Structure 1
Amino acid sequence: MHAVLEAIQGSPLAQLLTSDRWTITAHSKQILETLHFIAFALQIGAIMVVSLRLLGFGRGAAVAALCRPAFRTAWVGFAAVLVTGALQFAPIAAEVFYRPSFRAKIAVLTIALATLLWLHADVRRHAGAWDAGESISGSTKVLAVLSLALWPTVIVVARLMYAFVQMANR
């Protein structure tokens, strides 16, 4: 596994991202980090809209009409998070992969993603019934609360991971 991580870290893309030969690559870390934060904001904002609606806020909005575009936005945000995250990971792959903070980030991210997938499937299956007056189930509300808690936790754990990396590199 370590050889794979070193290959990723030594790849031309990773080298380009850490190069200072051009202005754009000299600031690639800051650019990627900014895009990563924007993507997370997009994703988490959309997830918050869905979760809060399922918890009873904004009852005037139909679940299906509100959640369909919100989930699309969340998935676009998540795709952008994956791309920008992978680009940030490549130059430091071998350095961070074995750190407990990275493992914690991936674990929380995996749980948050599973929760989001389950919530999305639940909304797809029941939105019509909920819009017709059926009560939103307790399990769906639990998923909504978990989503509200897990995604910000992913960000906190990720920030801690990068703080530990920066402290180790001093």
Structure 2
Amino acid sequence: MLADLLAAVERLPVVGALKASFYAYPLVNALHILSIGMLVGAVVLMDLRILGVARGVEREPFLHLMRVTAALAFPVAALTGFALFSVRAGEYAANPAFQAKLALLVLAGLNFGAFRRIAAPAAAGTAYPAPAKALAALSLALWPAILVAGRFIGFL
């Protein structure tokens, strides 16, 4: 059943156009890389600021800017990632690096949700509680791991 769904994705007309175009796939790939760079860069900078790096930078405006950047970059990364996946959906779905990347993305999402629950009650200008800092540190490990898993997709 899953194999049929993945094969159907590969047969979508827009996927056929993506495969047939000399320019489309490389441009989608470039946009994916750009959006991932923006997303991971924003997340890493937020995590570092939450952990106390760059105390001279006013925390709340900086974190707001990084949240907006991440919020804009994530959907672009997800859409372009799905477009890239759709070209060889069956092959990628069976790829251990792709599976690891998806699992790490789920963990990063759960980590983000937990962070929001723990950090939300903290008033602006007050220190983040230790559990929130631990989740920021975990985020610093998860996002580079997602990048590495993503890079390995083409090599496995």
On whether the aligned pair clears a TM of 0.5, the verdict is: yes
The residue identity in structure 2 corresponding to 1:156 is V
| Matches of 1:36 and 1:13, distance apart in 2 | 17
- What are the equivalent positions in structure 2 for 1:1-150 lying under 5 Å apart? 1-19=2-20, 25-128=21-124, 131=125, 134-150=126-142
Structure 2's unaligned 5+ residue stretches are none
C-alpha distance in 2 between matches for 1:36 and 1:50: 21
4+ aligned runs moved over 6 Å, structure 1: none
Distance in 1, matches of 2:40 and 2:123, equals 21
Q: CA RMSD in A?
A: 1.6
Identity across matched positions, percent: 27
TM-score normalized by the length of structure 1 = 0.83
Mapped contact 1:63–1:127 kept (Cα < 8 A): no
Match of 2:153 among 144, 148, 161: 161
Q: How many angstroms apart in 2 are the aligned matches of 1:71 and 1:87?
A: 24
Query: 1: distance between equivalents of 2:28 and 2:123?
Result: 36
> How many residues of Structure 1 are paired with residues of Structure 2 in the alignment?
155
| Contact 1:64/1:127, CA 8 A, preserved across alignment | no
State the AA in 2 paired with 1:39. S
